[in-house]
Structure 1
Amino acid sequence: MSARTRAAIARIEREAKAVDSLDPGTTHAALQTYRRFLAGPGRYRYTPLSDCSCPDCELEDVAVARDRIQQVLERLPRRPRRELAALVAPLDRQLERRTLPDPFAHLHPYRSRRPWWGRRLTGP
C-alpha cells in the first residue's frame, strides 16, 4: 500500500467520531483479521462470531472487520480508495468462495440489512 493511501486512511481514522468505531489503526487491524481468517485451514469456513461486542474484541468477527474496511473505503478519496479496493477485492473473492451464504439471514432483522459478507453462515 502506498504512503499516500496509508496517510489518507490515517486521516480518516483520526477524524472519525467515536460512533463510527474507527480509531487509529482500525483499518490495519481489520485487514489483519481478514487475512488471518482466510489463511485458516480448510476449504470452507464458518465466519466466527465474537463473544464480546467491545471495540477491542469486535474485530475478531471477520464480518465486522470487513464492515470497518468498507467504512474507510466509502470515505477515501478516489485514488486511495481504488488502491485499497484493489487490495480487498481478492480477499472478498476468497471469502465469498470459502464461506456459504446463510439461507435464513433474511429472517433476522439485523442480518437481512447487512452486506453480503454479513450474511454468511456463522459457527464456532
Structure 2
Amino acid sequence: MGRRTPRPGHIDGLSHATLAEVRRVERTRNHLWAGGTAEALRRWRTFVREPGHRLWEEPANGGCLVWACCGDPFEAREFLESVMLALSRRARSELRALVAPLDDLY
C-alpha cells in the first residue's frame, strides 16, 4: 500500500474537529470557498519561504494579483485571517499555530 493522497482542503497539523469547522466556515461564509483555507495556507507558506519574498507576477509587468488565479500572497493571508476570525477559540488556536510561524518569517 502506498501513501494516501490527502483530501482536497486537508491541512496537516489540524485536528479532525478543526478541519470540520474550517469546512463549515468555508461553506457558510459567502466570501470564502471550499478548500480555500488549505490553498491560502499553501500560498502564504510558499511566499514567506521565498528568498526576498518576491511576488510571482509583478503588477507593473502586467501580472495578475488575484490570489486564487496567480497567487497574491497578501490576499491569501487575509483569507486566513477571515477564517480564523470565524472559528471557535480552540479551532482558531490550532490554525493560528500554523500561521504564526509563517508570519514570523515574513
User: CA offset at residue 39 of structure 1?
Assistant: 2.9
Q: Which residue in the other structure is 1:106 paired with?
A: none
Q: Which residue in the other structure is 1:27 paired with?
A: 37
Q: Which residue in the other structure is 2:25 paired with?
A: 12
The answer for unaligned runs of 5 or more in structure 1 is 96-124
CA root-mean-square deviation: 2.0
Q: Deviation string for 1:84-103 (max 9, x for gaps)? A: 111111000001xxxxxxxx
User: CA offset at residue 55 of structure 1?
Assistant: 6.8
The answer for unaligned runs of 5 or more in structure 2 is 1-13
- Residue 93 (str. 1) matches residue 93 (str. 2): no
Count residues with an aligned counterpart.
89
Q: Which residue in the other structure is 2:86 paired with?
A: 75
Residues 35, 52 of structure 1: alpha-carbon distance in 2 compared, 3 angstrom cutoff: same
How many Å separate the matches in 2 of 1:66 and 1:73? Answer: 11
User: CA offset at residue 56 of structure 1?
Assistant: 3.4
